[in-house]
């Protein structure tokens, strides 16, 4: 298929449809409203289900119910709306049903504003709801990655019967870039759903199944948690994804994700042009985090600089990976401000003065 010019939010919507999304439940909130807008038209065209619920709480609980039936299902919101879904997310996680959640993050806390932000990193990777669980968290940096990671999100959600969250921001959601959409996958048929070992598809010729997150006995709930934790370990082993740029022989390692990760690619190129030995690691999975690779790189560099559009959240996961072996510093902008390459570059220059005089690659 040829590339076409696509807006990030529209690309997310269309990619979901092509990945076999059968039912969407959501509530509009800037800066992700285009996801709903596109889906409200396209899903009906495809004869599938689009429902604007009366709130984010209704949405996530409809996602939960729908997921239980083996339906490929998604919701989408932005920061405050995702906060409203925390109880439902925890129920889904414990019930081990697949669901895809999009968070097009905006400036916070509170109502904040509708500018791009990465302020919900902690919520996404650590504390999405009460109890012990993690969602798989994917962070696209381009419109093409929006498409690819939404597709992947459905696959991983199905594979691990887990929540897979895609965290974008208003910047990625609203830029337009050439990108290629994958071919259409059909929605899951009734027969295919009936083959699923766990889905509630009507107990016509088999025993009833129960999907629940309630386990009154402590022993039973511990067993459920141990199974959940074992699954999380498998995910950590198999699903770490990241991109590296110029990390070979770097003195300074930048670590950044999403929109800032992309800006740091520019910064890396510019810094290298100035002769500064900079590399970039851009996590694509925020959970599981590429800790092993960062641990590996840490002793090879003199300094690590984490750049985020928040007050410093992913930097904790970097520090955990580095475990004191290399200094880790942080540069961030807040309130919906996207840092310019120049301001990051001047941070880079301060940290890693030009080490190869005259170097212009």
Q: Pattern of binders to its own copies over 73-92, x per CB under 8 A?
A: ------xxxxxx-xx-xxxx
Specify the stretch interacting with its own copies by CB under 8 A; choose among 145-153, 265-273, 330-338, 340-348. Answer: 330-338
Of 21-60, binders to its own copies (CB under 8 A) are: 41, 49, 51-54, 57-58
C-alpha span between 58 and 330 (Å, rounded): 38
Q: Are the CB atoms for 73 and 24 separated by under 8 Å? A: yes
Q: Pattern of binders to its own copies over 179-218, x per CB under 8 A?
A: -----------------------x---------xxxxxxx
Residue 339 touching its own copies (CB under 8 A) = no
Residue 112 touching its own copies (CB under 8 A) = yes
Residue 286 touching its own copies (CB under 8 A) = no
C-alpha span between 230 and 157 (Å, rounded): 16
Residue 327 touching its own copies (CB under 8 A) = no
Q: Which is nearer to its own copies, 296 or 356 (CB)?
A: 296
Q: Are the CB atoms for 127 and 137 separated by under 8 Å? A: no
Side-chain-side CA neighbours of 14 within 13 Å: the count stands at 19
Torsions phi, psi for 10 (to 5 deg): -65, -35
C-alpha span between 43 and 287 (Å, rounded): 30
C-alpha span between 16 and 8 (Å, rounded): 12
Specify the stretch interacting with its own copies by CB under 8 A; choose among 122-130, 239-247, 268-276, 347-355. Answer: 122-130
Burial 222-236 (b: 16+ CB within 10 A, else e): eebeeebeebbeebb
CB of 69 to its own copies, least distance (A): 9
Tokens read off for 65: 């119910």
**Which member of 304, 319, 345, 351 binds its own copies (CB under 8 A)?**
319
Size of the site for its own copies (CB under 8 A): 83
Specify the stretch interacting with its own copies by CB under 8 A; choose among 9-17, 241-249, 269-277, 313-321. Answer: 313-321
**Which member of 130, 189, 234, 350 binds its own copies (CB under 8 A)?**
130
Q: Are the CB atoms for 15 and 151 separated by under 8 Å? A: yes
CB of 174 to its own copies, least distance (A): 15
Q: Are the CB atoms for 246 and 212 separated by under 8 Å? A: no
Cis before 11 (ω within 30): no
Of 221-240, binders to its own copies (CB under 8 A) are: 221-226, 228-229
């Amino acid at each position: 298929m040829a590339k076409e010019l696509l807006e990030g939010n529209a690309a997310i919507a269309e990619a979901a449809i092509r990945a076999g999304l059968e039912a969407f439940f959501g509530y509009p909130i800037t800066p992700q409203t285009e996801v709903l807008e596109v889906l409200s038209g396209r899903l009906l065209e495809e004869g599938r289900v689009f429902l604007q619920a009366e709130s984010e709480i209704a949405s996530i609980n409809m996602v939960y119910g729908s997921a239980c039936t083996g339906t490929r299902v998604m919701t989408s919101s932005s920061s405050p709306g995702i906060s409203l879904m925390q109880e439902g997310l925890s129920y889904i996680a414990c019930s081990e049903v697949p669901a895809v959640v999009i968070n097009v993050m905006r400036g916070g806390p509170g109502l904040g504003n509708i500018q791009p932000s990465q302020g919900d990193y902690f919520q996404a990777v650590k504390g999405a709801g009460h109890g012990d669980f993690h969602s798989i968290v994917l962070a696209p940096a381009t419109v093409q990655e929006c498409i690819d990671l939404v597709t992947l999100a459905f696959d991983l959600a199905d594979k691990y019967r887990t929540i897979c969250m895609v965290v974008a921001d208003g910047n990625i959601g609203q830029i337009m870039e050439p990108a290629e959409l994958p071919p259409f996958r059909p929605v899951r048929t009734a027969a295919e759903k009936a083959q699923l070992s766990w889905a509630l598809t009507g107990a016509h010729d088999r025993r009833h199944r129960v999907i629940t997150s309630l386990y009154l006995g402590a022993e039973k709930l511990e067993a459920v948690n141990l199974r959940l934790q074992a699954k999380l370990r498998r995910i950590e082993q198999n699903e770490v994804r990241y991109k590296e740029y110029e990390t070979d022989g770097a003195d300074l390692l930048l670590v950044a994700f999403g929109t800032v990760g992309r800006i740091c690619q520019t910064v890396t190129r510019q810094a290298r042009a100035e002769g500064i030995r900079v590399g970039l690691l851009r996590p694509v999975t925020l959970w599981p985090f590429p800790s092993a690779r960062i641990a590996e790189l840490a002793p090879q560099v003199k300094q690590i600089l984490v750049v985020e559009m928040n007050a410093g959240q992913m930097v904790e996961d970097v520090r955990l990976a580095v475990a004191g072996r290399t200094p880790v510093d942080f540069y961030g902008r807040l309130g919906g401000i996207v840092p310019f390459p120049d301001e990051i570059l001047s941070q880079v220059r301060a940290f890693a003065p030009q080490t190869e005089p005259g170097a212009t690659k």
